[in-house]
A and B are shown apart, each in its own frame.
Chain A
Amino acid sequence: MKQPRTESFTTEDGAQIPLLLENLSKTYSVLEETSRNRKTRLFDTFDWRLYRKNLICSISSSRFVIRDFAGNEIMQCRAPRKSRIFWSDIDDQKTSELLKKYLSMRALLPLISIEGVEHSFKIVNQDRKTVLRLQIEKYQALEGDTSMEMPVIISIQELRGYEKPFDQVQKILVRDLPQLGQYGSYIEQAFGIARREPLDYGAKFQVNLEKEATIGESVSVLCQALVESMAVNQPGVERDIDSEFLHDYRIGIRRTRSLLSLLRKKLPTRISYFEDEFKWLGSITGPLRDIDVYLLKEDSYKSLVPEMFEPGLQSFFDDLASGRQQVLRTLRTELNSERYERLLTDWQFFIEDHDSELFGCKAHCKSTIDKIILKRFNSFVKRGSGITEESPDDALHTLRIRGKKFRYLLEFFRSYYAPQDIDNFLKHMKKLQDNLGDFNDLSVQIEMLQAKLDGLHGRNKKTLSLAAALGSLITRLQTEHQKERARFNRIFEKFNTESNRQLILEMISND
C-alpha cells in the first residue's frame, strides 16, 4: 500500500509564517491542535560513529530517537537517564543491538541542545474531518550562554485517502518557500555555534606534507598532529568516558615512538630523551589499557567456556573491575605529574620552535622516506619469508612489530604518494597484519591468564571455580593460537607476491 507523503520546507524569515497561515485559511479551516515546547539534545560518539553512518541520535521528552539524514525515524525507545550512554544502557533490544553494531565500546555524548516550540495544526473539511496535518517548528541551538536561531521548519503530512489537500497545500508551499532538503544538513547548522563540528575527530591518521619539506619540517608537522590527537583524548581518559579515549591516546604515543625510531639516524641525538619519555608514557598507560582489553572481552570469553564455568570467570572480571579504579587513579596522578608536564613543554619546544635542533635536519624528506620505505619493505619480506612452521613464536612477534611500523610509515607519508596505491597496498597487508595481531593478542592473553592461574592460592570454592574456568579458557585460547599460527605461512605467501612488490616500487617512483 502506498505510504502517505510528508514534505518539509524552511524559511529563515519567521514573519512569513502568519502570512502563510492566513493564506491557507482563505481556502481551508486551519485549527491549531497543540503547541509544545521541545528540548532536544543531540548525541554522538566522540569520533562521530553515528554521523558517519548518516544517522542522528537525539533525546527529547525522555524519548531516545535515531533518525537517518532524510529525517526518517529508524528507532525509538525510552531514553536512559544518563548523559553518557553505552549501547548496553538501552532497554529496547532492537535499538540496543543496532547501537552495539555501530558504537561498539564507545559512549554517546551530548553534543548540542536544540530548544524551541512545535505547533501542530490540522486542516479540516466541512465535516470537520482532518484531511491534512501541518507542523511548524521554531528552534534555536544552544551552547552554554550562546544561542542561534535556526530556520523555521514547516512540514505537511498527508492522511491516507486524502491526496488532494496535500497536493494543493504543497503547491502553495512550493511557490512560497524553499524545500528543507536533508534533515541532516538542517541539524548540521546547529553545530555553527557548537565547540564541536561534525567529523572533527576520527582515529584515522591523515596529514598533508609539503613535497619539498625537509625532514625537520615534516617531523614537526607529523608530531604536532600526533600530540594534538593525544591532547584531545586526554580529558576523556581522565574523566574515564569510554575505553577508546585511552586506546586512541596510546596510538598517539605508539605512532610518535615509531616515527622517532624510523628516522632515528636522521634526527638529532636529543630524541633519545624523548624516546625514553614516550616509552615511560606507554608504560604508565599500559596497565589500564590491559584491564580494559580483558573487560571488553568479557562476553567473548564467557562464550568460549562451558556454561558451568561462567560464574568462576565472573569473579575474574569482578576482580579486574574493582582493581581498575586504583589503576585509573594512579594514571591520573601521572598525567598531572611534573614529569609529564615537563615532557609536554620540552616536546612542544622541540617540534614547534624554529630554534629547536629538529629544524636543523635539512635533508629532503621525501627522498629519504622513499629509501626507508624500500628498505623496510625488503627487510619485512625477507624476515617473513624466513619464517617456517618450525620457527619460534618470537619470530612472528618481531615481524608483527615491523609490519606495524611499516604501516605507520606509509600512513605518515601518505600525502607524498598516490593515495589509492597506499590504500591498495594496505588492503593487501591487512589480512597478514590481522593474523599476526590475533596471534600476538592470544599469546599475551594466554600468558596473562596462565600467570593469574599460577598465582592462585587456597582451596576455597571461589578459587577452585576460578581455576577451573581459567583452565578451560586457556585451553580454548591455545587452540585458537595454534590455528592462527598454522594460517600464517599461507597468508604470508599470498602477501609476498611480485605484484605487491611492484606496487611499492611504482608508488615510490611516481612523483
Chain B
Amino acid sequence: MKTIAVYSSKGGVGKTATAVNLSYAALEQNKRILLCDMDSQGAASYYYRIKPKKKFNRTKLLKGDFLQFIRETDYPGLDLLPAHFSFRNLDLALTSEIDQPDRTALRKLLYVLEDEYDYVFLDCPPNLTLLSENIIVAADCVVTPVVPTTLSVLALEQLLKLFRKVACDKKKLLAFFSMVEKRKSMHAGVMKKYLKYPIFLRQSVPFMADIEKMGLYRKPVAAGPTRSVAPQVYRALWQEIMERRLKG
C-alpha cells in the first residue's frame, strides 16, 4: 500500500479536485483505492455524494475505530472515508490526546489498511500544523498543487521548511502547476522560472471549466457527462507521479 497526500497550506489551489481525480485515475488501473477526506469541509465527500454515518467523528478516527465508516463510492474498487465536521479540530485532538507531539500517529492509524488497498489518497486541509507534520510523515508521496503565482510559490517554500523541520526526505515532495491560465503572463513567467527544478512535475493542470463543473455533476471528471481533456491530464499526472515516486 502506498499513501499519497494531496497537500498545500494554501486554500483554493485545487487540492480536492486533484485528490478526487487522481484517485479515479488510479482506479482505472484496476487498483484498490481509498480516498480519506481529512478536510472538515468535506468537499471530496461531496463530490462522491457520500455523507458520513451518524456515529462517526474525530475520536473514532483517532482511536483507529474507523474501518466501519469507510463507504464505497459509485465506482467499484474506490472507497472513501468521509470527512466529519469534528475534523476541524484534528490538530487540537492530536496534541491533547498525547503528552508529546506525535508525528507518527496518522501513519500508525493507516497501518490497518495495508492489506486492503493498493493506494490511499489523503485530501488534506490547508494549514501548517501538527496534522500537516503527521501527513508528511505518513505519506509515501506528498503531491502539492501550485498555482503559478508568487503567493502559491511562497506556500511551497513554507512546505519545504516543514519538511526540514520534521527531517523528512524532500524527494517525496512533488509539486505541479495547477489552475494554469497560459494567457496570463504572470503564470507563464512563474512556470518558466520554476519548471526547471526537479521538484516540479512536467505535467500541469490547466484551469478548465469542466473541473469547476465537478461540483455540479458530483463526479470525477472522467466519469462526468462532458467530453473533455481533463481526464487525460489527470491520467498523465498520475502516471508521472507513479514513475517518479511510487514504482518499485
Residues of A within 8 A of B (CB): 1-2, 4, 122, 127-130, 159-162
Contact of A162 with B71 in the complex, beta carbons under 8 Å: yes
Residue of A nearest to B116 (CB): A1
Contact of B74 with A130 in the complex, beta carbons under 8 Å: yes
Binds A, one of B47-55, B92-100, B129-137: B47-55
Bound complex: CA A129 to CA B116 (Å) = 23
| Chain B 186-245 residues near chain A, CB threshold 8 A | 218
| Chain B 67-83 residues near chain A, CB threshold 8 A | 67-72, 74, 79
Q: Which 9 A-B pairs have the closest CB atoms?
A: A161-B71, A129-B49, A160-B72, A159-B72, A127-B49, A130-B74, A1-B116, A1-B67, A161-B70
Contact of B53 with A161 in the complex, beta carbons under 8 Å: yes
Bound complex: CA A128 to CA B218 (Å) = 10
In-complex Cβ contact of B71 among A1, A2, A128, A160 (8 A): A160
Contact of B49 with A161 in the complex, beta carbons under 8 Å: no
In-complex Cβ contact of B69 among A2, A128, A159, A161 (8 A): A161
**B70 to chain A: which residues have CB within 8 Å?**
1, 160-161
Contact of B74 with A160 in the complex, beta carbons under 8 Å: no
Contact of B51 with A4 in the complex, beta carbons under 8 Å: no
**B69 to chain A: which residues have CB within 8 Å?**
161
Among A128, A130, A159, A161, max chain B CB count under 10 A is at A161
Interface of A is mostly: loop
Min C-beta distance of A33 to chain B, whole Å: 10
Residue of B nearest to A158 (CB): B72
Given A1-B67, A160-B79, A161-B69, A129-B74 contact (CB < 8 Å): yes
Bound complex: CA A2 to CA B79 (Å) = 13
Contact of A127 with B71 in the complex, beta carbons under 8 Å: no
Residue of A nearest to B53 (CB): A161
Given A4-B72, A161-B72, A127-B51 contact (CB < 8 Å): yes
Bound complex: CA A294 to CA B94 (Å) = 70
Bound complex: CA A451 to CA B134 (Å) = 76
Residues of B within 8 A of A (CB): 48-51, 53, 67-72, 74, 79, 116, 218
Min C-beta distance of B57 to chain A, whole Å: 16
Bound complex: CA A162 to CA B48 (Å) = 14
Bound complex: CA A161 to CA B82 (Å) = 11
Residue of A nearest to B75 (CB): A130
**B51 to chain A: which residues have CB within 8 Å?**
127
Bound complex: CA A161 to CA B71 (Å) = 4
In the complex, the number of residue pairs spanning A and B with C-beta atoms less than 8 Å apart equals 32
Given A127-B49, A160-B70, A161-B50; 9 other pairs, CB 8 A cutoff: A1-B70, A127-B218, A128-B49, A129-B50, A130-B74, A161-B53, A161-B68, A161-B69, A162-B72
Bound complex: CA A159 to CA B74 (Å) = 9
Min C-beta distance of B68 to chain A, whole Å: 8
**B79 to chain A: which residues have CB within 8 Å?**
160-161
Min C-beta distance of A4 to chain B, whole Å: 7
Bound complex: CA A127 to CA B50 (Å) = 8
**B48 to chain A: which residues have CB within 8 Å?**
129
Min C-beta distance of A96 to chain B, whole Å: 20
Min C-beta distance of A309 to chain B, whole Å: 37
**A1 to chain B: which residues have CB within 8 Å?**
67, 70, 116
Contacts A/B (CB < 8 Å), 27 sampled: A1-B67, A1-B70, A1-B116, A2-B68, A4-B72, A122-B74, A127-B49, A127-B51, A127-B218, A128-B49, A128-B218, A129-B48, A129-B49, A129-B50, A129-B74, A130-B74, A159-B71, A159-B72, A160-B71, A160-B72, A160-B79, A161-B50, A161-B53, A161-B68, A161-B70, A161-B79, A162-B72
Residue of A nearest to B46 (CB): A127
Among A122, A128, A129, max chain B CB count under 10 A is at A129
Residue of B nearest to A122 (CB): B74
Bound complex: CA A128 to CA B49 (Å) = 7
**B68 to chain A: which residues have CB within 8 Å?**
2, 161
Min C-beta distance of A355 to chain B, whole Å: 70
Bound complex: CA A128 to CA B51 (Å) = 12
Residue of A nearest to B71 (CB): A161
Bound complex: CA A160 to CA B72 (Å) = 5
Residue of A nearest to B51 (CB): A127
Bound complex: CA A162 to CA B74 (Å) = 12
**A128 to chain B: which residues have CB within 8 Å?**
49, 218
Bound complex: CA A162 to CA B71 (Å) = 7
**B67 to chain A: which residues have CB within 8 Å?**
1
Min C-beta distance of A128 to chain B, whole Å: 7
Min C-beta distance of B175 to chain A, whole Å: 33
**A129 to chain B: which residues have CB within 8 Å?**
48-50, 74
Bound complex: CA A130 to CA B48 (Å) = 10
Bound complex: CA A2 to CA B51 (Å) = 20
Bound complex: CA A484 to CA B131 (Å) = 70
Min C-beta distance of B222 to chain A, whole Å: 17
Bound complex: CA A1 to CA B81 (Å) = 14
Min C-beta distance of B39 to chain A, whole Å: 19
Bound complex: CA A159 to CA B80 (Å) = 12
Bound complex: CA A128 to CA B219 (Å) = 11
**A162 to chain B: which residues have CB within 8 Å?**
71-72
**A2 to chain B: which residues have CB within 8 Å?**
68
Min C-beta distance of B47 to chain A, whole Å: 11
Min C-beta distance of A29 to chain B, whole Å: 13
Among A2, A160, A162, max chain B CB count under 10 A is at A160
**B116 to chain A: which residues have CB within 8 Å?**
1
Among B49, B51, B67, B72, max chain A CB count under 10 A is at B72
Bound complex: CA A2 to CA B69 (Å) = 12
Min C-beta distance of B65 to chain A, whole Å: 13
Min C-beta distance of B98 to chain A, whole Å: 26
Bound complex: CA A161 to CA B50 (Å) = 10
Bound complex: CA A133 to CA B196 (Å) = 49
Bound complex: CA A168 to CA B2 (Å) = 36
Bound complex: CA A128 to CA B116 (Å) = 27
Residue of A nearest to B52 (CB): A161
Bound complex: CA A128 to CA B74 (Å) = 10
Min C-beta distance of B48 to chain A, whole Å: 8
**B71 to chain A: which residues have CB within 8 Å?**
159-162
Min C-beta distance of B50 to chain A, whole Å: 6
Bound complex: CA A2 to CA B71 (Å) = 12
Residue of B nearest to A33 (CB): B74
